Structure 1
């Protein structure tokens, strides 16, 4: 991992320490435990979501998934506790809530972190590729998360999610689908994302999003999480797109980030 990028990432982690329970970042053993947990959950999500065919071992598969769901539940509940104080202060009045929600673009956790201007203005290609490898490895698939979240919702939120889903799917144009656009950038840059080479924080993001969308008890949490991503991602995408342009990445290859900067 590049030294300067590690410095920025470490600064970002320190910024977020006030939002997690005491002891999470105390020592290397805790990092090792978090890494093991997130890798385990990533493997669980692969087995849970990847299409497959019936087998004679379906009972053992159910047992493995049940164990994974318990592990996932413990993880998600700890994350809910970690943000409970901030969540308790969210306005209940609809107009006040909208104002609070829109303000997350400015004051949400991680927003306007110095990492992103640095990516735009100073990162080398090697450093940018390391960052993008983490980004690709931690991508949970917004279109799939949307599809899972909208199940049995009332018509109005279902339609809103459907509009977003259709946009993610390129409005029917395979060349405009968001997921393949990111994959194309990864291929062009020669990125090789693997779970083993991914920092646990990136895996945790994907695991949280997958867990919220897959479990109906968190359906409204998932709506909120998807909405926050849509609200806050453009400002970060702008900087990544600028950095890729500065490094000479052609417009067609960086289209994923230019598209999300809108």
Structure 2
């Protein structure tokens, strides 16, 4: 049975609201787009500092809800990897009944709404990996590089994962925009971006990215099944079909080449990695709960 997060501690949050998460999402998109020098750069820095403090407050509030569970993670290598892999069965949001329903019962319009939310909240796994790998130990850095290379289609544009997602957006004729996205989806992307862009959460990002690889294949397979049921071709649902298979190997490689060596080098990293994984899963469960509420009425 999947473990439930403490939703009561989050319901009154000043950070888990439409206005805050949309503002944070807009800031993230603006600050990460390549730009040019401007005359108002000092004002922009002041705004960025204010937003970074708010982003930190948001992440720390979510972290407070999972810190006790993360503290119970073993810090020896074998024990920690076993604990981490067990999250596939017992982590927040795992086995959610939303996904079998998407596979078997959801209408085309319901699947399109679900995908619109997911696409708008997509933080870009390739960019998250690229930002996380900065100054990582050699073995971990090499595995993150291999993962990134797969995300980039091994140098072939047709194989890049991001454009595959964009193509599905076009096929389904959805308009994934921040204003039409529930705050839970934005919070998930904002949390992932916060961990990857702030070096104080670098080990958290390792855990968050690793747990995506661990838990995504089953959900991806069910979403692909639903898309096939409503008539999408193999090519059109390629993004989900690919992740249903490829992420299984990615997870095995991540756990062996990233988690094992970095925890062996410094056992204190285990707790931070555990926290990052639980932050990602908790934000995911908030999404699933909201999606069910919207889709099931």
**TM-score of the aligned structures, taking structure 2 as reference length:** 0.79
Once the two structures are superposed, residues 119-158 of structure 1 have per-residue CA deviations (whole angstroms, 9 ceiling, x without a partner) of: 0000000000000001100100000000100001110110
SS at match of 1:56: coil
Aligned counterpart, 1:61: 44
Residue 142 (str. 1) matches residue 125 (str. 2):
yes
Residue from 116, 123, 127 that aligns with 2:99: 116
1:202 aligns with 185
Native 8 Å contact 2:195 2:202 kept in 1: yes
The structural deviation recorded for 1:82 is 1.0
Deviation at 1:20, TM superposition (A): 3.3
Instruction: Specify which of 22, 39, 47 is matched with residue 8 of structure 2.
Output: 22
Change (3 A) 1:38 1:72: same
CA distance in 1, matches of 2:173, 2:80: 43
Distance 1:115 1:79, change over 3 A: same
C-alpha separation in 1, matches of 2:24 and 2:2: 22
Which stretches in structure 2 are left out of the alignment for 5+ residues? 246-297
- Secondary structure, in 3 states, of the residue corresponding to 2:122? coil
Return the offset for 1:25.
2.9
Q: 1:224 to 1:202 in 2, by over 3 A?
A: same
Matches of 2:137 and 2:163 in 1, distance apart? 30
The ranges of structure 1 where at least 4 consecutive aligned residues each deviate by more than 4 angstroms after the TM superposition are: 15-18, 30-33
The answer to whether 1:173 aligns with 2:159 is no
Listed one character per residue, the Cα deviations across residues 41-71 of structure 1 (whole Å, up to 9, x for unaligned) are: 1011012101111111111111111111011
2:250 maps to 1:250: no
For the residue of structure 1 that corresponds to 2:193, the secondary structure is: helix
Aligned to 2:252: none
Match of 1:106 among 89, 93, 96: 89
CA separation of 1:109 and 1:18: change in aligned 2, threshold 3 A = closer
Give the distance between the partners of 2:209 and 2:3, measured in 1 at CA. Answer: 23
Task: Evaluate the alpha carbon distance shift between residue 24 and residue 17 of structure 1 in structure 2; reply closer, same or farther with a 3 A threshold.
Answer: farther
Q: Are positions 1:233 and 2:216 aligned together?
A: yes
1:231-257 Cα deviation digits (max 9, x unpaired): 100010000000000110111010000
Give the Cα–Cα distance (whole angstroms) in 1 for the partners of residues 5 and 88 of structure 2.
17
Q: Which residue of 2 aligns with 1:80?
A: 63
By how many angstroms is 1:22 displaced? 3.2
The match for 1:261 is 244
Distance (Å, rounded) in 2 between the aligned partners of 1:180 and 1:138 = 16
Structure 1 spans left out of the alignment, 5+ residues: 1-14
Q: Check 1:16–1:128 CA distance in 2 against 1; reply closer, same or farther (3 A cut).
A: same
